[in-house]
Structure 1
Amino acid sequence: MMTRKVKTRFAPSPTGIMHIGNLRSALYEYLIARSRGGAFILRIEDTDRERYVEGAIEVIFRTLSQCGLHHDEGPDIGGPNGPYTQSERLPLYKKYAEQLIAQGDAYPCFCTSGTVSGNEDVDETESFGYNRRCRGIDPGTARERIRSGEAYAIRQKMPLDGKTSFTDDVYGVITVMNKELEDQILLKSDGYPTYNFANVVDDHLMEITHIVRGSEYLSSTPKYCLLYESLGWEIPHFVHLPLIVGEDGKKLSKRHGSTSFDDLIKDGYLPKAIVNMIAFLGWAPGDETEEIFSLGELEQIFRIEGINKAPAVFSYPKLNWMNEQYIRAMPFDTWKKRVQEIADPCFGDRPYDPGKLAEVLQPRVTKLSDIPAMIRFLTGRLPLSRELFYNKRAKLDADKAAYILEAIFPRLQALDEWSETGLDHLLEEAGQALDLKKGQLMGSLRAGLAAQQVTPGGAIETALILGQSESLERLDRVLDFLRKE
C-alpha cells in the first residue's frame, strides 16, 4: 500500500504547441498534488529527437506559468532527483536495461527495420508484429555480436502465458493476457530509451506516486506494470483520463476549432477561463452546481473520485460563457489595461477615453479578440448612407435626422462640460425645445457619431469615448453628407 508523500509529474515532449489534452493532464497532475499537500514535478521528455522542435521547451514553461501551474522541481529550478531532462539521463536508462538483460527480463535485438517482421516500413522502435527472432539467441552469442560492434536494441521479454492485471483509479481493474503483449523496445540502438521505458525509470527514481495520462495509454500500462515488477519497484497509482471530444462526439481536432493553449489565447480567451474550462473536461465537483472556480478553489475541492470515464465534450459556447464571467469579474484597472493594449494600436494618434471605452466594453465583450471589430466604428470613418438613419420604431429617417443634428450641433459646440451629466442635460433640454422623443435624439446622434445603428454603448457613451473634438468633426461630416443628399 502506497503511503509516501503524493508526487505527480508533468512530462511533456518538446514537439511544438501545448494541446488541450496535454494541458488537462498537467492541470490534473497539479491539482492531485496540491489537493493532497504533495509536490508537482516538471520533466522534459526529449528522447524523440526526430520530433523535437526548437523553442518548444520555452512554450511549455510559458504555458504553465500563464496558467499558474508552478512546479516544485524541474529543469529550470532543479531538485533532488535531477536532471529533469531525459536526454541528460541516458546512462540511467542503459544501467537498468542491462540489469533487465542480466536477470533474464530483456534481451538484445539485432533486427533491422526490415527484419522485424519482413516489412521494410517497420521502425526499430515499434514492436508491432515482431516475431521475437532474437529472443532465443544464446546470451554468449549475443555478447560476442555486441563486442564486434553490431548495432542492437534492447527488448523487454514479455511472459508468454498468464495474465497481468492492474487497478486504475478511474477505470478500475484492467486485465490483459500476457500472450497479447509484444516484446517492446526499451533502449534503441542509438542509446536513447523509448517513451515507456524512460517513464518507468524516471517515475520510480523521482518518487512519482500518481501517473496521470489519457485513456489511450491504458493498453500499454500492463507493460509498465511488468517493468516495475521486474525491477522490484512499487507500482504507482494510474489515473487515466477520458477522451476529449467535440460537440459532434468525435475526437477533438482542429476542425472543431482551436485545440492548443496558444491558439485559444490568440482567439481572445483568458488563461483563467481556459484553466476553469479544462478542469471540467472529465471531472465534476460532486454535488456542487457552481462552475466558476479559481485555481486556488480547485486545489481545495479536486478529488480523483470526481473523474469519470465518459468522453469529455469540449464546448466552445461553454468556454465563451466562462470567459465572459472572468471578464465581468476582472478588476477594472486590470481590464482597462487589457483594453488599452488592444485599442491603442487601433486608434493610432487619435485621442479617445480609454477608461470610458473599458467601462462600455466590460459588460459586453465575450473574447478579447472581439474588441477590434467592436470598436472599428470608433477608430475610423465608416461609409455613410441615408438608410443608416432609418428607424421605423422611432419614426426616424434621414431628413428627420438631419433636422435633429442641425439643431443640436451648435449646442454641442457650446457645451463646456463634455461629460455624461452635461450631455444628458443638453439632450433632455433639446428634446423639450424641439418636441422630440429621446429615441429620436439618441438614434440620430448615435448614427451620426458611429455611422452604424448598433454600437457597444449608447450615443452618450460613444460621444464620451470619442471626445468633443472628434464627435463634432464626425457630426459635421454627416451633416455635410445629408445636405448634399
Structure 2
Amino acid sequence: MTETSAPAPDGALPGAVRLRVAPSPTGDPHVGTAYMSLFNLAFARQQGGRFILRIEDTDRARFREDSEQQVFDTLRWLGLTWDEGPDVGGPCEPYRQSERLGTYRPYVDRLLAEGRAYRCWCSTARLAEMREEQQRSKQPTGYDRLCLGATEDERRRLPGFSETPVVRMLVPDDVELGFDDLIRGRVLAPRPDDQVILKADGFPTYHLAVVVDDHEMGVTHVVRGEEWISSTPKHVLLYRWLGLEPPRFAHMPLLRNADKSKISKRKNPAARLTWFREQGYLPEALVNFLALLAYPPAEGAEGEDVEVFTFEEFSARFDWSDVNPVGPIFDLKKLDWLNGVHIRALDPGDFTSRLLPFLQADGVLPADPSLGELARLRSVAELIQTRIGHLTEASALVGPFFVADDAVEVAPDARAQLTDDAAVVLDAATAALDGLPDEHTGILGSDPSWTAPAIEVALRDAVVTGLGIKPKFAFGPLRTAVSGARVSPPLFESMEILGKASTLARLRALRASL
C-alpha cells in the first residue's frame, strides 16, 4: 500500500491523518458531497485518522437554513459519520465558517501589511464590462489591477468606483503552477488572476477561508473535485505567504451524466442526495456504487472482479494510486442492480424494518402498527424480498394484504387480461379450497393445515387437471382476485398468509363482478 500519511500537525490534534468534507448549505445536498465524504472517510479510517465535517456557509446570498440539517441527515443515513463537526463538537470549534469570521481578518491584515494583497474598489458593473471587453478582444480574462497601488481618493476619481472595497491577493508573475497530486501525480494548473479573498460584506471567499480553516483544523489531506485544480496554485501560494505547511492534495474525478456533462441538480434529479432515499435505495448500495465510480472492484479468490462490498472492505484495501482520474459516468442501471443485490442480502427482519417507513408513508400501514400487522408484514416481506429493486416498490405488493376483502381494487390491466374461462376457474378454485381444513390449530396430530403446499395441490387438481387449463394460464384469475393486480407475490403463499376466509371472500367477490 502506498504510504501517503503526512506528519501530525502542531498542537497534537487527534488522528494520524485529518481529512474533511466542507459542503455549502445552499440547497439539497449534492451527491458529490457523499462521494467526497466516502473517499475521505475510507482513508481516514484506514489510517486511524479523523474525519471532519465543516460547513462553508459564507455564501450568504445562496444560504438555505434547512440545508445544513439535510447534510447531517443524509450523510448519517449513508453511515458516513464524522468525528468532529458543528453538531458533535471537537477541538477546533467552531466548525461553521460564519461563526469563524474573526479568525480570517488577522490573516487578511497580515497579507495587506506585507504587500501580498490590496484593496479593490471596482464596482460589479465595471468588472462585468472589463470581462466583456477581454472576451471580445480574445484576451485572457482576469482582473486588470486598476486598483493596485491606488489610494481610495485616487481610485474614487476613476470610473466604476464602489464605496465598499474587496481585498485581492497579488499573484506574482512567477507563481508556481505545478503541484503534486496523490491521484494524478505532477499537475500543472493555469495561471491564476488576483483572486478576491475578502468580500465587501466582510466574509472571506472560499480561497482564503479554506486555507485558514484547513490549517487551523490540522487538515493533512485535502480531497476535492478536479474543478479545484485551477485554484490550487492560489492556495499553495497563500500557505507559503503565511508560513504554513500545505496539506497533500487529491483531486477526484467529477461525476458525469451519460453525455459526459457534469452532473448537476438543475438537470439531473439523481444529483440530489435526498433523491436516493426518496426512491428507495439502500444506503449501503449507494456507498458501494459511489466507490465503484472511481475505484476498481475488489479481486476474488480466483482473480474475478468482486463488485459488491462493504464500506469496511473498501476502506481496508484503499490506495490513492488506484483511484481512476477519468470522470466516471453516473450509471443508474448499475446502481439499480447493486440495490437489488443488497436488498436480497438483508436479514428478513432488517428488510421488514426498512420497508416500514415507505409503507407508512403510502398509507399501507398506520403510524403505530399492531403486533399482528407487523407479524403479517414479516411474512409478506419474505415473499417479496427477491422481487423488488427499490423499497418504494413494496407498497403495491404489500398493500393487498392490509385491505378489507371487499375493498380490493382490481386494476384495469388485471381485469382486461381475464379470459372467458375466468368464471369457471374461480368456481372450481372456490370449491376446491372450500374443502380444505381451516388454518392450522397448532395441535400435534391435527388435520393438514391451510398451507401453501396444500393449497397448491388442491388448485392444481381442480384447475390444471380438472379443467385441463395449462399452468401458465390457470392461476391468472386467482392472482387477480387475491391481489387485484397482474403481478403479485407468490400465489399459494399469499393465500396462506391471507387465510381461508379472506381468500374465499376475494375469489367470490371477483366471480360476482364477472
Q: What are the superposed Cα offsets for residues 446-470 of structure 1, whole Å, 9 maximum, x if unpaired?
A: 343234443232x212212333332
Is the 1:428–1:438 contact (alpha carbons within 8 Å) kept by the matching residues of 2? no
Cα distance, 1:306 vs structure 2 = 1.6
Is the 2:177–2:233 contact (alpha carbons within 8 Å) kept by the matching residues of 1? yes
Structure 1 residue runs of 5 or longer lacking an equivalent are 143-148, 391-395
Distance in 2 (alpha carbons) for counterparts of 1:286 and 1:398: 52
- Give the match for residue 364 of structure 2: 346
In the alignment, is residue 158 of structure 1 matched against residue 178 of structure 2? no
- Give the match for residue 360 of structure 1: 383
Q: Counterpart of 1:213 in 2: which secondary structure?
A: strand
Is the 2:169–2:194 contact (alpha carbons within 8 Å) kept by the matching residues of 1? yes
Q: What are the superposed Cα offsets for residues 24-73 of structure 1, whole Å, 9 maximum, x if unpaired?
A: 01111111211111111111111111111011111111112111122111
Is the 1:7–1:208 contact (alpha carbons within 8 Å) kept by the matching residues of 2? yes
- Give the match for residue 393 of structure 1: none
* RMSD, matched Cα: 3.2
Q: Counterpart of 2:19 in 1: which secondary structure?
A: strand
Q: What are the superposed Cα offsets for residues 136-160 of structure 1, whole Å, 9 maximum, x if unpaired?
A: 2269989xxxxxx963221101002
Distance in 2 (alpha carbons) for counterparts of 1:232 and 1:340: 55
- Give the match for residue 200 of structure 1: 211
Matched residue pairs, number?
A: 464
Distance in 1 (alpha carbons) for counterparts of 2:244 and 2:204: 19
Structure 2 residue runs of 5 or longer lacking an equivalent are 9-15, 134-139, 156-161, 441-448
- Corresponding letter in the other structure for 1:466: L
Is the 2:52–2:82 contact (alpha carbons within 8 Å) kept by the matching residues of 1? yes
Residues 182 and 470 of structure 1: CA distance in aligned 2, closer, same or farther (over 3 Å): same
Selected match of 1:320 from 315, 330, 336:
336
Q: How does 1:121-200 map to 2 (within 5 A)?
A: 129-137=142-150, 151-161=164-174, 163-176=176-189, 180-200=191-211
Cα distance, 1:9 vs structure 2 = 0.6
Cα distance, 1:83 vs structure 2 = 1.4
In the alignment, is residue 448 of structure 1 matched against residue 460 of structure 2? no
Q: Counterpart of 2:271 in 1: which secondary structure?
A: coil
Residues 399 and 75 of structure 1: CA distance in aligned 2, closer, same or farther (over 3 Å): closer
Cα distance, 1:381 vs structure 2 = 2.0
- Give the match for residue 146 of structure 1: none
- Give the match for residue 30 of structure 1: 41
- Corresponding letter in the other structure for 1:8: L
Deviates more, 1:356-365 or 1:280-289: 280-289
- Corresponding letter in the other structure for 2:396: A
- Corresponding letter in the other structure for 1:463: M
In the alignment, is residue 337 of structure 1 matched against residue 353 of structure 2? yes
Distance in 2 (alpha carbons) for counterparts of 1:355 and 1:41: 39
- Give the match for residue 260 of structure 1: 272
Distance in 2 (alpha carbons) for counterparts of 1:259 and 1:37: 31
TM-score (structure 1 length as normaliser):
0.86
Distance in 1 (alpha carbons) for counterparts of 2:209 and 2:115: 19
In the alignment, is residue 282 of structure 1 matched against residue 294 of structure 2? yes
Is the 1:116–1:129 contact (alpha carbons within 8 Å) kept by the matching residues of 2? no
Distance in 2 (alpha carbons) for counterparts of 1:226 and 1:445: 75
Selected match of 2:425 from 386, 398, 401:
401
TM-score (structure 2 length as normaliser):
0.82
Selected match of 1:370 from 375, 384, 393:
393
Distance in 2 (alpha carbons) for counterparts of 1:157 and 1:134: 11
Residues 248 and 108 of structure 1: CA distance in aligned 2, closer, same or farther (over 3 Å): closer
Distance in 1 (alpha carbons) for counterparts of 2:485 and 2:298: 48
Q: Percent identity over the alignment? A: 35
Distance in 1 (alpha carbons) for counterparts of 2:357 and 2:6: 50
Is the 2:296–2:322 contact (alpha carbons within 8 Å) kept by the matching residues of 1? yes
Residues 192 and 162 of structure 1: CA distance in aligned 2, closer, same or farther (over 3 Å): closer
Q: Counterpart of 1:245 in 2: which secondary structure?
A: coil
In the alignment, is residue 480 of structure 1 matched against residue 491 of structure 2? no
Cα distance, 1:191 vs structure 2 = 1.3
Residues 432 and 55 of structure 1: CA distance in aligned 2, closer, same or farther (over 3 Å): closer
Distance in 1 (alpha carbons) for counterparts of 2:411 and 2:282: 34
- Give the match for residue 499 of structure 2: 467
Is the 1:170–1:239 contact (alpha carbons within 8 Å) kept by the matching residues of 2? yes
Q: Counterpart of 2:52 in 1: which secondary structure?
A: strand
Is the 1:387–1:398 contact (alpha carbons within 8 Å) kept by the matching residues of 2? no
Cα distance, 1:432 vs structure 2 = 9.5
Cα distance, 1:329 vs structure 2 = 1.0
- Corresponding letter in the other structure for 2:248: H
Q: What are the superposed Cα offsets for residues 347-389 of structure 1, whole Å, 9 maximum, x if unpaired?
A: 6799873122101110111001112233455553215787534
- Give the match for residue 87 of structure 1: 98
Is the 1:386–1:398 contact (alpha carbons within 8 Å) kept by the matching residues of 2? no
- Corresponding letter in the other structure for 1:3: P
Cα distance, 1:320 vs structure 2 = 0.7
